[in-house]
Structure 1
Amino acid sequence: MSKPIAFIIGAGKNIGASTARLFQSKGYRVAQAARSLDISGSKDDDSLLLKVDLSKPETVTAAFQHIRKNWGEPSVVIYNAGAAHFTDRNHPMSVSLEDFITDMTVNTTSVYLAAKEAVSGFETLPTGTPKAFMFTGNLTNTATFPRLMTQGAGKSASAHMIESASQAYADKGFRFYYVDERTATGGAKINPPISGPGHAQFFLGLVDGSIKAPWHATFVENEGYKAFPGSRA
């Protein structure tokens, strides 16, 4: 029996690395993609490293095609990338159009394409295979941070997309989550920063069913899913 495949898009040293290690320990083959990855010697039986530039959505399609050619269809797709051009808190419309488009592309357009590719693959996988698309979000879809206007616009759009997909594909067993780590009181996780191992455990729990959460999956490290004011079911 072939191993299940997880694909981490935006694979960095914190969430991406922790998630890759945990999923591999659970028997997954893991493909990781990012702009800055060193892909020399990048393939073995259980690991695949790919280059993507998420400001160029076509590279997302190319990455999925590479995984399909080498391994097959991912049953777990995690979009862990984000972009932000900080703006003047008193003048959020000062960001250039070019920078706004770049951030929206990374935070939403490439997310859409990744979700579209994921669904295409999910359709071909056996009925009993857990299938999940997870997006690393933050508080900006429910709260306003003027300096993060471009990121908030993109995260909010992607949250809407995740909710729509969660409803539309529920009968097929395709699960979609906007994953947002919070402090114990529901604030943005800044200091200490977001937890790589915490995200990895939460992702795995959503996939294997040990954690039950709606599409707006707010969580606290070591506690699991926790709803807060503004959380959506």
Structure 2
Amino acid sequence: MSITTGRRLDDMTNATTTSPTTTTTGLLAGKVAFVTGAGRGIGAAAARLFAREGARVLLAARTETQLKAVTEEIRAAGGTADYIRCDLAEPAGVQAAVDRTVELYGRLDVAFNNAATIQQPGPIDQLPESDFDYVYAINLKGPWLAMNAEIAAIRATAGTGAIVNTSSVGSWGANPSLPAYGAVKRALNSLTASAAVTYAPEGIRVNAIAPGTTLTEMIDEWEAVSPGIVDQLNAQTPLGRAADPHEVAEAAAWLLSDRASYVTGTVLRVDGGMQA
């Protein structure tokens, strides 16, 4: 019995032996990127990476000295970057930062909402109400404010684009050490999914990343009040170590790029297998 495939054998051979076309174009070439929490940690690593991948970047955070240092580093490496001081707890400041991006670069294509704060570790009944309110303001209301401004800017300029929010592996399951932090990060997952479904018809993708243990100042603060916590977390991680911030930034860059064009509404775990 013979089977006709509709393709000649030599065509199939050529298809399997011909190397794909390669390109040196950056992952975010030609795009304008807005990054919050860009003065340190994952945000700073992302700003550097996005610039290396061809984006023009506006960095936003609360500490101007950190922002200036990262911006100058990007420029020294040949990238295009500027910065604006911004506190995510201040709605007018968030809007002004996004407006500044469009003013400088003429458009907004992608945004990485990475700024966050951590709570004092401990059980629910020992967390002051004011601390809970602050965690909520920065880690949930802040991204909500930012997305509102970013979506409007993308609509008005680039037309289509992508947004990535920083969640956490602590958003899944119980989080007795960081209950408020875990709760608002879980809410951020829901907000991300809702935005993804709402704006997908307009060509605006919305995703989140959920880092595991990452070597940032935030984890240093936790280690300072809970000695040994990093070792405990690493013991729960199949890869056996914490991530470097640039490893997490790589995931955000991919989700923001056109190579993730069919990905929206997902929370991508970047956790060394901790939640596998």
Report TM bin, short chain: 0.7 to 0.9
The CA deviation string for residues 94-119 of structure 1, in whole angstroms up to 9 with x for no partner, is: 21221111110000111101000111
> What corresponds to 2:83 in structure 1?
49
> What corresponds to 1:172 in structure 2?
202
Q: Is 1:206 matched with 2:238?
A: no
The CA deviation string for residues 13-51 of structure 1, in whole angstroms up to 9 with x for no partner, is: 332222222221222111111111325696878111111
| 1:78-117 aligned within 5 A | 78-89=112-123, 92-117=124-149
Deviation at 1:58, TM superposition (A): 2.6
Instruction: Compute the RMSD of aligned alpha carbons.
Output: 3.1
Q: How many residues end up aligned between the 2 structures? A: 218
* Compared CA separation, residues 57 and 151, structure 1 to 2 (3 A): farther
- Look at both structures and tell me which one has the larger radius of gyration over its CA atoms: 2
List alignment gaps of at least 5 residues for structure 1: none
**SS of residue in 2 equivalent to 1:192:** coil
Deviation at 1:122, TM superposition (A): 1.7
| 1:67-78 aligned within 5 A | 67-78=101-112
* Compared CA separation, residues 17 and 40, structure 1 to 2 (3 A): closer
* Compared CA separation, residues 9 and 199, structure 1 to 2 (3 A): same
Instruction: Tell me how far apart the structure 2 counterparts of residues 201 and 106 of structure 1 sit (CA, whole Å).
Output: 23
Does the CA contact (< 8 Å) of 1:138 and 1:188 recur in 2? no
**SS of residue in 2 equivalent to 1:33:** strand
> What corresponds to 1:17 in structure 2?
44
Instruction: Tell me how far apart the structure 2 counterparts of residues 181 and 28 of structure 1 sit (CA, whole Å).
Output: 23
Deviation at 1:137, TM superposition (A): 1.1
Deviation at 1:80, TM superposition (A): 1.0
Deviation at 1:70, TM superposition (A): 2.0
List alignment gaps of at least 5 residues for structure 2: 1-28, 214-235
Higher share in helix: 2
Greater shift, 16-25 or 36-45, is seen at 36-45
Instruction: Tell me how far apart the structure 2 counterparts of residues 173 and 191 of structure 1 sit (CA, whole Å).
Output: 38
Does the CA contact (< 8 Å) of 2:122 and 2:178 recur in 1? no
Deviation at 1:3, TM superposition (A): 3.9
Q: Percent identity?
A: 24
What is the TM-score with the length of structure 1 in the denominator?
0.80
* Compared CA separation, residues 158 and 219, structure 1 to 2 (3 A): same
